[in-house]
Amino acid sequence: QVQLVESGGGLVQPGGSLTLSCAASGMLIRIYAMGWYRQAPGKQRELVATITTDSSTNFAAFVKGRFTISRDNAMNMVYLQMNSLKPEDTAVYYCHAIRTSREYWGQGTQVTVSS
């Protein structure tokens, strides 16, 4: 059974940092493109960052220069380092894996940026 389990969310003040982790099981992430998405209340889910199997990265314009995505294929983990967080970054963050016709989502982790 494939599972993606996110962790590391929480409450942080504006300007602060958080690192989200995504632990995969039942699959080998090294053959999947991985990514992070987010969904704020009342809004559609949106792409935050992606990382390909050869570790090429892509970021949404609203996080460029602030977030970093990385992968550890040996540990079957994906990370999202978030710096200079803003209140508008408040959302549920989801881990995503995709390969041809196979696609998986995690259950999400809440990130709240507030003073």
Per the DSSP assignment, residues forming a β-bridge with 46 are 38
pLDDT digits (tens, 9 = 90+) for 58-75: 999 999 899 999 999 999
| CA proximity to 69, closest of 20, 106, 32 | 20
Sign (positive or negative) of CA dihedral 61, 83, 37, 27 = positive
How many CB atoms within 10 Å of residue 49?
Answer: 23
pLDDT digits (tens, 9 = 90+) for 76-109: 999 999 999 999 999 999 999 999 989 999 999 9
Q: Is the pLDDT of residue 19 over 90?
A: yes
